[in-house]
Structure 1
Amino acid sequence: MLRRIVLALVALTALTACSTATGPQVGAGTAAVVGNATISTDLVEARLRTALPVLVDALNQQAQEEGRQSPALDAPTLAVQSRALLGLAIQHQIVLEATRRQGIVVDPARVEAQVAAAGGAQSTATTGLDLDALRDLVSDQLALAEIGRREFDRLQVTVDVGTFGDKASAERAATQLASDPGVGPLAALPPGMQILDRTVRPGNAQSDAVIRTPSSPIFGLPGRTVALLSPQQQQSTPGAPTPDPTTQPWTVIRVRDRSLAAPAPTGNTVPSALVDARTLAQFGRRAVQPLAAELGVQVNPRYGTWDPTQDEVVAPPAAAGSIIPLAPSVAFAPTAP
């Protein structure tokens, strides 16, 4: 429930790493580094102070709905909110670089119109975001929708996907898949827990939960990599213990190929012209994920760890997914149409 509260605080517009970078490093006063850009702890703390009244109201409402006493605003709850706010700031830096590279200019008038529609200066009381943060969020969503529109019809990925009972099993499978062109451990999984050599597009209608939406992580993973995806973290009632992520099911995805040269949409493939702006923005967020890996994202451990597979800040470190490249010797036979 708390995770939904946090997401609600930052989703008010109707739209919705592995690194070898040698730029700035995380140090005192730095919450995160994205490529050559730094995000200060002062920024995150200031935005957290702005968000606190809305967070307290949300927690009180949740407690009232569940018929229990309102909880204290404890350290774990504040940490969840801090990670969410830091994640927004990181995403903003990634989107800025993506728009620079693609020559996308977001119309300031559109941003101000959406900010005004959200309440303008009074929106802080409902969103928990100050005006600068709200403008950044609106601008990012508009930019991501445009990025999504440009790539929706062009992207296709060929993947092997398998779900394993715990992190250790998934890590062993990922290591083997990164060096062996055969499907290996995935083929040994029971039916329903594997997808083998499947080429997928964001406009395809898919039945499997891992790949059925344009916001799926598979559209954000670099080509010729193997990714370990952690189970979705569910924030429990404040004060309750958090399940050990290493003992939950983990997903392994091998991206055989990632291409922006897909043929024009036909048949059951929905074209971008028929996709709403919110969905395009959600897909756009995945579309810029490879750029995040290229730039490199470093997070101050006081906030958590950057998860390059889910594009967010997580805690504890064991909850973070990872991406490893395929060995250069790995070659696949052409995929059948």
Structure 2
Amino acid sequence: MRTPGVERGRMRPREKVTHVRRHVGRALVTMAVVGAVVSGCAGPGGPGTGAVIGDHVISLNDVEQQIDAALTDPDQTAAASVFGWGTDGLSRLVVESAVSNTVVGGAATAAGVRVPPEELEGIAENVALGMLQQQLQMGNMAVRDPSVVDGILEITRRAAPWQAAAIELGRHAIGRVSVVVDEVTVRDRETAERFARLLASGGNLAEQVLAEPGARRGAAYAAGTDTERAGTILFGVPEGTVVAYQPNPANASWSVARVVQRRTDGPGDPAAAEQLSQSELLNIGIRVAQAEQGNNPVVVNPRFGVWDPVGFRLVAPEDQAGLVILPS
């Protein structure tokens, strides 16, 4: 596998960081999980459950062992402190990686995607360096500490397997995956979620939503030409799903969309895939894997938070990035 954008050099564990390479957009967002872990004991699917993804169960014991290992690593806790996550945020990142590895890893296995182990270190380094660059640009010089560098590398190594698999899934999707949607653009989240519920209810109420200014029926998007949309929840759900989301979080507008058709049988376009960045392929691959779940949502033990399908991350309940209404 050739991973575009990943430099082949290796960063020494105790090397003082004075220069970092370009950031990896979506990977940084994935890593920037903050906030307190929600309290709670009863897990989904019964006691002892950490998370449920379709028919797959991640045991609470496995999750707690991984969390304990992270929290007893002085490098990772140093990184969590400097990045402002704290121990709760670090714990959430551990659970997030466990869920992501299951979702993306399962889809990769089903698709016959295999990532050579030797590629993983380069991906982990690229993401770590991007995170460090972001902090340095913000004036956070504490990230130069060798312990912080080592800690971030350990954190990104934990996510590297699923991120590498997602990149390959994204590469395969270019030219193949497309969606057709009925959609409307609105100005705020409250209106978006209200319209989403009306659109999902069907009948006259749905027709009223699609008669609103800015509504479009039969809007077509393809993974190869609409890369920003292809990296959103719009491409990560089955037909009949209604979503409320921000296509670009930097823009205040919201989109409400009903997925009318989702196709995966287009002719592949390897040449077009080669023109996309690693970050773009990662985002698209995440949604390819997510769509393979069908109508099976991810359910996480509430002590760790809730799974946000729009952001594809683990968050506190109040931090969810939008709304997904799966077909009944």
TM range (shorter): 0.5 to 0.7
User: What is residue 31 of structure 1 aligned with on the other side?
Assistant: 50
Partner of 2:176: 154
| CA displacement at 1:150 relative to structure 2 | 1.1
Match of 1:203 among 186, 204, 224: 224
Q: Does residue 88 of structure 2 align to residue 82 of structure 1?
A: no
Q: Secondary structure of the residue that 2:115 maps to in structure 1?
A: coil
Deviates more, 1:225-234 or 1:157-166: 225-234
SS of corresponding position for 2:243? strand
Shift of 1:171: 3.9
User: Partners in 2 of 1:86 and 1:202 — Cα distance?
Assistant: 29
What displacement does 1:318 show?
7.4
Alignment of 1:53 with 2:78, yes or no, is yes
Structure 1 residue 151: Cα displacement:
1.2
User: What is the match of residue 167 of structure 2?
Assistant: 145
Cross-structure match for 1:185:
209
2:255 and 2:280 map into 1 onto residues whose CA distance is 24
Distance of aligned partners of 1:27 and 1:96 in 2 relative to their CA distance in 1, 3 Å threshold? same
SS at match of 1:302: coil
Q: Which residue of structure 2 aligns with residue 43 of structure 1?
A: 66
Distance 1:31 1:163, change over 3 A: farther
Partner of 1:222: 238
Matches of 2:30 and 2:311 in 1, distance apart?
A: 19
Equivalent positions of 1:240-319 (< 5 A) are 251-262=255-266, 271-317=272-318, 319=320
Q: Which amino acid aligns with 1:221?
A: V
Distance change >3 Å, CA 195–CA 58, structure 1 → 2: same
Cα shift readout 1:9-68 (whole Å, capped 9, x = no counterpart): 949xxxxxxxxxxxx72534x432333231523323433554320132234xxxxxxxxx
Kindly state the Cα deviation for residue 281 of structure 1 after the two structures are TM-superposed. 1.9
TM-score, with length taken from structure 1: 0.64
User: Does the 8 Å CA contact 2:184/2:212 hold for their aligned counterparts?
Assistant: no
Q: CA deviation at 1:97?
A: 0.9
Where 1:148 maps in the other structure, the secondary structure is helix
Q: State the shift of 1:91 in Å.
A: 0.5
TM-score calculated relative to the size of structure 2: 0.66
The one-letter amino acid of 1:216's match is T
Q: Distance in 1 between matches of 2:293 and 2:57?
A: 12
* C-alpha contact 1:220 1:287 (8 A) present in aligned 2: yes
The question of whether the paired residues in 1 share the 8 Å contact of 2:235 and 2:287 is answered with yes
Change (3 A) 1:26 1:81: farther
Distance in 2, Cα, partners of 1:114 & 1:123 = 19
The 1-side partners of 2:219 and 2:147 are apart by 45
Q: Secondary structure at the match of 2:192?
A: helix
CA distance in 2, matches of 1:104, 1:226: 29
Separation in 1 of the partners of 2:106 and 2:78?
32
Q: 2-side partners of 1:283 and 1:177: how far apart?
A: 25
Give the secondary-structure state (helix, strand or coil) at the position aligned to 1:55.
helix
The 1:128–1:98 alpha-carbon spacing in structure 2 relative to 1, beyond 3 Å, is same
2-side partners of 1:156 and 1:287: how far apart? 11
Match of 2:151 among 115, 128, 133: 128
Letter in 2 for 1:146: E
Cα distance in 2 between the residues matched to 1:8 and 1:321: 16
Contact 2:181–2:257 at 8 Å: present in 1 too?
A: yes
Gaps of 5+ in 2: 1-24, 33-43, 130-144
Q: Which amino acid aligns with 2:288?
A: A
Identity %: 27
Q: Distance in 2 between matches of 1:321 and 1:168?
A: 10
1:258, CA displacement in angstroms?
A: 0.8
